[in-house]
Chain A
Amino acid sequence: MNRMVVLTGNEVEAEAMRQINPHVVAAYPITPQTEIIQLFTGYVVDGRVDTELIRVESEHSAMSACIGAAAAGCRVMTATSSQGLALMWEVLYIAASLRLPIVMAVVNRALSGNINIHCDHSDSMGARDAGWVQLFSSNVQEAYDTMIQAVRVAEQACLPVMVMTDGFLTSHEAEPVLLYPDDQVRAFIGPYRPGYALLDVDHPITVGPLDFHDYYFEHKRSQAAAITDAAGVIDQVAREFEQAFGSRYHAVEPYRLHDATVGIVAIGSTCGTAEEAVDAARSRGIAAGLLKLRVFRPFPLPQIVAGLRHVHAVAVMDRSDGMAGWGGPVGVEIKAALYGLAERPTVIDYVYGLGGREITVEDLVEVCEELHGIADGQDGGEPVRYLGVREEGAIHEPENARREA
């Protein structure tokens, strides 16, 4: 029997891990992820899972131990946030290159410095080129459902998968959520049968060899094909998930977008806020819509183009600044995605919400109004905008320039 309960994102991710019952979990505490591992440790010590837990001394070792355990032939999970993900950076690439199906909950938190514990997406966006599948969840139900799907995606695509939630938003806010019975979850994920395993000592393999100019490129090419093909795997797993549990997930999910003239693109918990803003903008006569980005890697290019091609102006909500001098990573990629269209929407990149700065329905209604002006034929203006920041006092001349003056 399904159970409707009220839980937080961290609680449902720990619950999904309990149901998945992985062979090995290696993890290290970091806010706001810690709770997942605390709850899961409780399941381990009470014998509610069979998992062997490695309480490592750093996130670098957490991912390294996950790599060892996955290469050994086990189903492996972990969780982290922010600096922890940053510390893993080196080995994230190795996990993906070795094609190890590790599933990691990433509770999004701003990167230092300055140190901050609240939500933005700079941590997972910093890992966007590591070769991992990246799945974002916008609410607690999605977090739970995505953790379950992630195991299948990882094992079928032979790639590691990150499941994102917004720190202290999705992770700590309680919402009604439908939980599925243990046996149904376990039937859905099935047993793990690795293609190769270090512990198959009768068939020794060498994992992670030195790979020079004569082979490295082919290995990267096959890895690139795997991440491209993961789009099909994600969709197939989503279809099977719908058959098993009723909810249908897509790489991108449009909301009132089909007849919209202006569109918002958002990731994570802001999507809920954006849906309300779309409704409010429509009540003010603006034909607004939302494109919710659930899958970021592999980048769902055809779905994004199909979703946005008809709108006149698009606001990309970027919860991290790429520090590239022209906005955040999502904005850059959406613009690139639309470049092939003969008639393209005007795209404005809104950097917002850094370090947990609040975003309100009214903020996003104003965004819709700005887009509406552009769609109406007004000048597009600044292509990169900072939403909800105190500009006064934030922008300085360099210290030494002022001293000389």
Chain B
Amino acid sequence: MNLKTLAEKPERLTGGHRACAGCSAPVVARQVLMAAEHPVVVGCATSCLEVVTTIFPFTAWKVPYIHCAFENVAATISGVETAYRALRKRGELDRDIRFVAFGGDGGTYDIGLQSLSGALERGHRFLYICYDNEGYMNTGIQRSGATPRGAQTTTSPAGKTTPGKTERRKNLTDCVIAHHIPYVAQAVPTLWKDFMTKVQRGLDAPGPAFINVLSPCTLGWGFDPSLTMEIARLAVETCFWPLYEVVDGRYRLTYRPKEKRPFREWMEKQERFRHLFTDANQPLLDQLQAEVDQEWEGLLRQCEDSKEVVE
């Protein structure tokens, strides 16, 4: 995979859609479509990505696309994938097609968790991409199960008594790993080769595949639109968002930061954490760093157990 051949591939998500300047979601979608070697059918949960790409009578999608509702993209794509098998079985179709579902963190961590879990457990062959921007950005920046502790949103504002969201984010990637599906990974669009390689592995997996992609939101996180990719990368360098994959239960770190940066550096780049940097909040900042360390060290142990420590 190199830039030259990628640049020659036909565009499958056109420009002219209505995503914000600096939005990472269309970048994620384009990287997925560009990595796919086969024809794909896309399902999309109600989300920013759905809203900005399909305002009737326009569509940015040059591949077959279905949006049904917020919480059910996994169930919907499982129906499409089953239809594919049904038609192939009867000799009514002989194309080799792959299936991709996109959901934001709200549609995946929260309201769509049941539908996702069911589709994973049933073993449909599809790739689920969670573009995780850590909140309900489409409805105007509300907290979700993916919003980090301490982050300010419109439903977890920093007030006189509470410093932003008071609860710890759930680790959805761990939840998905617990389904024992063939392929699970985390990625960021900044490290595009890493991400697109994972997309190809996911699409080649013999069953369900899931990639959780940290997808910075310029409005919701509060940063300059030119910094999207840098902020995604810094999440990796602080080990808040480790890049790894789990293939048939074996963990492998796919990128190891040369020097683990303090978590604070990532937070300092974003308006949503700005209220945290006071003396009074130092215990909370320490706690946030400790939580990052705990999850990172846990992941390293998993990789060591799998004898897949990084290059």
Residues of A within 8 A of B (CB): 23-24, 26, 50-52, 54-58, 60-62, 64-74, 76, 90-91, 94, 198-201, 204-212, 215
Contacts and interface: CB of A to CB of B under 8 A. Distances in A.
Interface residues of B, number: 48
A206 B65 contact: yes
Given A90-B69, A209-B59, A215-B56, A73 B83 contact: yes
A47 B156 CA distance: 54
A211 B55 CA distance: 6
B55 A24 contact: no
Contacts of A51: 86
A69 B55 CA distance: 23
Interface in B33-79: 39-41, 43, 50-51, 54-57, 59, 61-69, 71-72, 74-79
Given A68-B83, A72-B80, 13 more contacts: A26-B79, A56-B122, A61-B74, A62-B75, A67-B66, A67-B76, A198-B65, A199-B64, A199-B95, A204-B65, A209-B54, A210-B51, A215-B57
Contacts of B97: 199, 201
A206 B78 contact: no
Contacts of B67: 207-209
B258 interface: no
The 8 A-B pairs at the shortest CB distance, nearest first, are namely A68-B79, A57-B118, A72-B83, A65-B79, A61-B75, A64-B75, A209-B54, A64-B72
B55 A199 contact: no
A88 to B, nearest CB: 10
Interface string B95-128: 1010000000000000000110111011000000
B117 A57 contact: yes
A24 B86 contact: yes
Given A201-B41, A208-B66, A24 B83 contact: yes
B82 interface: yes
A57 B121 contact: yes
Interface of B: 39-41, 43, 50-51, 54-57, 59, 61-69, 71-72, 74-87, 89-90, 93, 95, 97, 114-115, 117-119, 121-122
29 contacts: A23-B86, A23-B87, A24-B79, A26-B82, A52-B89, A56-B118, A57-B117, A58-B114, A61-B118, A65-B75, A65-B78, A65-B82, A67-B68, A67-B76, A68-B43, A68-B75, A68-B83, A69-B79, A72-B83, A74-B86, A198-B65, A198-B80, A199-B93, A201-B63, A204-B65, A207-B65, A210-B55, A210-B56, A212-B56
B78 A54 contact: yes
Contact of B78 (A68, A74, A211): A68
A68 B76 contact: yes
Contacts of B61: 204, 206
Given A60-B71, A68-B66, A201-B41, A206 B82 contact: no
A91 B67 CA distance: 11
Contacts of A204: 61-65
Given A64-B115, A94-B69, A210 B50 contact: yes
A72 B41 contact: yes
Contacts of B43: 68
A206 B115 CA distance: 22
B72 A61 contact: yes
Contacts of A52: 82-83, 85-86, 89
A166 to B, nearest CB: 29
Nearest to B115: A61
Contact of B87 (A58, A74, A94, A211): A74
Contacts of A56: 75, 78, 118, 122
B73 to A, nearest CB: 8
Nearest to A55: B122
A208 B79 contact: no
A101 B104 CA distance: 29
Contact of A54 (B71, B82, B84): B82
A199 B83 contact: yes
A209 B79 contact: no
Contact of A73 (B68, B71, B77, B87): B87
Contacts of B63: 201, 204
Contacts of A23: 83, 86-87, 90
Contacts of B56: 209-212, 215
A69 B72 contact: no
Contacts of B40: 201
B54 A69 contact: no
A340 B82 CA distance: 49
A131 B42 CA distance: 26
Most buried by B among A50, A72, A74, A207: A72
A204 B71 CA distance: 24
Contacts of A212: 55-56
B178 to A, nearest CB: 15
A208 B86 contact: no
Nearest to B70: A90
A71 B66 CA distance: 8
A10 B70 CA distance: 33
Contacts of B54: 206, 208-210
A398 to B, nearest CB: 35
A199 B63 CA distance: 10
B181 to A, nearest CB: 15
Contacts of A205: 64-65
B68 A198 contact: no
A97 to B, nearest CB: 10
A47 to B, nearest CB: 11
Contacts of B64: 198-201, 204-207
Given A207-B67, A210-B54, A198 B41 contact: yes
